[in-house]
């Protein structure tokens, strides 16, 4: 299974494709899509759209995991990041990719074992989980790796739940 993980951002969007083979993870690609700050918003969103499309077509993921956003104060920043996140969700829909949306605390929990881990620990644990000889940088790329790894957990959980529903439904159908 392949997951493309997204750490949303307008100036810099982290994108990582991760392969899961049994219990092992392997990094397929990891990078940031960057847009110039002085460029008009529609042009920046177009860059994200086009580059993300190229990555999806090159890496052929089975699903997408896009980090949910949490903003406390700066609504202007939040607005532009939400729009960039929308571009990622649109690409998922265009490519018929199921989408999982973990919260930052879920990503930290899945990767590091606790939901308040600092960004540096997410980088180090991503490196360890993927067996990388280098520390994933910048932190947006490491966060995208974390989103992808968390996506596998959410995907497996959804399959267990839907499998349990199917088994329950088939038993119920036999009794009726």
Domains in the chain, CATH or no CATH each: 2-165 (3.30.420.10)
Contact 150, 115 (CB under 8 A): no
Is 7 a residue of the active site? yes
- pLDDT score for 62: 97
Is 79 a residue of the active site? no
**Mean predicted confidence (pLDDT) in 54-66:** 97
**Mean predicted confidence (pLDDT) in 5-17:** 96
**β-sheet bridge partners, residue 134:** none
Residue from 7, 51, 139, 143 carrying the catalytic annotation: 7
User: pLDDT for 31-40, tens place per residue?
Assistant: 999 999 999 9
Give the angle 127-87-7 at the CA atoms, nearest 5°: 20
Q: Does the structure show a pLDDT above 90 at 163?
A: no
What is the reported pTM?
Answer: 0.88
The H-or-E segment that residue 64 falls in is strand 63-66
DSSP, residue by residue, 142-153: HHHHHHHHHHHH
Measuring CA to CA, how many Å separate 50 from each of 34, 57, 87, 155, 159?
12, 11, 10, 26, 31
- Rounded to the nearest integer, the mean pLDDT of the chain is 89
Residue from 101, 139, 140, 143 carrying the catalytic annotation: 140
Q: Does the structure show a pLDDT above 90 at 60?
A: yes
Q: Confidence class of residue 172 from pLDDT cuts 50, 70 and 90?
A: very low
Pairing of strands 63-66, 2-7: parallel
Best CA proximity match to 61, nearest among 52, 69, 51: 52
Is 62 a residue of the active site? no
Residue from 51, 67, 101, 139 carrying the catalytic annotation: 67
């Amino acid at each position: 299974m392949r997951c493309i993980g997204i750490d949303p951002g307008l100036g810099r969007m982290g994108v990582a494709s991760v392969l899961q083979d049994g219990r092992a993870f392997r990094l397929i690609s990891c990078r940031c899509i960057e847009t110039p700050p002085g460029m008009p918003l529609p042009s920046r969103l177009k860059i994200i759209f086009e580059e993300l499309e190229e990555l999806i077509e090159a890496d052929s993921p089975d699903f997408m995991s896009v980090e949910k956003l949490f903003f406390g104060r700066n609504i202007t920043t939040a607005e532009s990041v939400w729009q960039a996140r929308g571009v990622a969700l649109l690409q998922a829909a265009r490519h018929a990719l199921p989408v999982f949306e973990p919260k930052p605390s879920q990503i930290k929990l899945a990767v590091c074992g606790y939901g308040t881990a600092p960004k540096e620990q997410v980088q180090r644990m991503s490196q360890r989980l993927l067996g990388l000889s280098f520390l994933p940088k910048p932190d947006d790329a490491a966060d995208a790796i974390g989103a992808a790894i968390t996506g596998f957990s959410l995907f497996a959980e959804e399959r267990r739940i839907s499998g349990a529903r199917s088994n329950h439904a088939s038993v119920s159908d036999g009794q009726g």
